[in-house]
Amino acid sequence: MDHLGFLIDMDGVIYRGDKAIPEAIAFVEKIQDYPYLFLTNNSAVTPQSIKEKLSGIGVSRCEIEHILTSAMATADYLQGQKPGFTYYAVGGPGLHAALNAYGRKDENDPDFVVIGEGEGLDYDTLTIGINILLQGKARLIGTNPDVNLNGTRWGKQVTLPGGGALIAPFQVGSCKEPLFIGKPNPVMYRQGLKRLNREAGEVFMIGDRPETDIKGAAKMGIRTILVTTGRYRRYDPYPEDTPLPDFMVDSLAEMDLSQLQSMV
Ligand SMILES: [Mg+2]
């Protein structure tokens, strides 16, 4: 088989909020013979809940092994740094589940303070986190640097604070610089390639945000497809210091698989 693989962002590519993007779902059907991975910086959600959401909007053949969240990438990375690590985490259920799979909670002197999206930040958790960072050995880790994301709260579509926004008070309060794992940082892409069992030049990253999806992938030598169904629209100013994508399309229906095959 051809050595082709896909890393696929979800929000703005496969769906917008709760609404499916039908051309993208048809594209996922077409690539079933290739290795592919849905990649999300959202660390609050569990792979199981993502699988359910995807199957609810028509991505029927997605399995858990097709999903990599920044929380899973973070846990995997920390396990590589320090097997059986201890942590103090503030974030949603996806973050706690991912860390708990490899590490152990410790509120006294953990190896890492890990901050991600979702509920959990309040005066007490911030105070505990800052004290750990100031008094102990812990390194400050962010699942992802996104400032915000689309989500649902109070029964309506809203903009939610992202990992970058939620880690800021810990960073300011402790004067410690965080290490971020999710897009556009290389760790998440490296793990994606490993899971696909592909080299960077054999893989296309499909995303809707130039400054994260495209920038991070291009830095790794991964080919890129920017689809204008999400955050970035065709006539928006293109962000500085961001490489142009290999393809910019208004719909994944425009992508020709034989053309992609000929490039790898
Ligand atoms: Mg997106």
Q: What is the pLDDT of residues 141-174, one digit of tens each?
A: 999 999 999 888 999 989 999 999 999 999 999 9
Cα-to-centroid distance, 9 and ligand 1 (Å): 5
Tokens of 70: 């920044």
Measured between alpha carbons, how far is 238 from 12 in angstroms, rounded to an integer? 17
Cα-to-centroid distance, 210 and ligand 1 (Å): 10
Q: Which own/partner pairs from 243-252 qualify as long-range (CB within 8 Å, at least 24 positions apart)?
A: 243/214, 243/215, 243/218, 245/210, 245/214, 245/218, 246/204, 249/225, 251/23, 251/24, 251/227, 252/13, 252/21, 252/23, 252/24, 252/26, 252/27, 252/206, 252/225, 252/227
Cα-to-centroid distance, 230 and ligand 1 (Å): 6
Average pLDDT, the chain: 95
- pTM (two decimals): 0.93
Cα-to-centroid distance, 12 and ligand 1 (Å): 5
Asked if pLDDT for residue 254 goes beyond 90, the answer is: yes
Give residue 189's pLDDT band: very low, low, confident or very high (50, 70, 90): very high
Domain boundaries, given as residue ranges, for the chain: 5-41+183-262, 82-180
What backbone torsions phi and psi does residue 10 show, to the nearest 5 degrees?
A: -110, -60
Cα-to-centroid distance, 149 and ligand 1 (Å): 9
Superfamily for domain range 82-180? HAD superfamily/HAD-like (3.40.50.1000)
Query: Do residues 24 and 254 make contact, with C-beta atoms less than 8 angstroms apart?
Result: no
Q: What is the pLDDT of residues 80-127, one digit of tens each?
A: 999 999 999 999 999 999 999 999 999 999 999 999 999 999 999 999
Of 62 and 75, the structure prediction assigns the larger pLDDT to 75
Same fold, 5-41+183-262 and 82-180: yes
Beta-bridge partners for 180: 142
Cα-to-centroid distance, 248 and ligand 1 (Å): 14
Q: Looking at domain 5-41+183-262, which CATH architecture does it have?
A: 3-Layer(aba) Sandwich (3.40)
Q: Strands 86-90 and 112-115: what pairing? A: parallel
Measured between alpha carbons, how far is 167 from 146 in angstroms, rounded to an integer? 10
Q: Which residues, chain by chain, have CB under 5 Å from ion ligand 1? A: 9, 11-12, 208, 230
Cα-to-centroid distance, 42 and ligand 1 (Å): 10
Measured between alpha carbons, how far is 114 from 10 in angstroms, rounded to an integer? 23
Asked if pLDDT for residue 197 goes beyond 70, the answer is: yes
The conformation of residue 17, written as its DSSP 8-state character, comes to T
The confidence score (pLDDT) of residue 1 equals 53
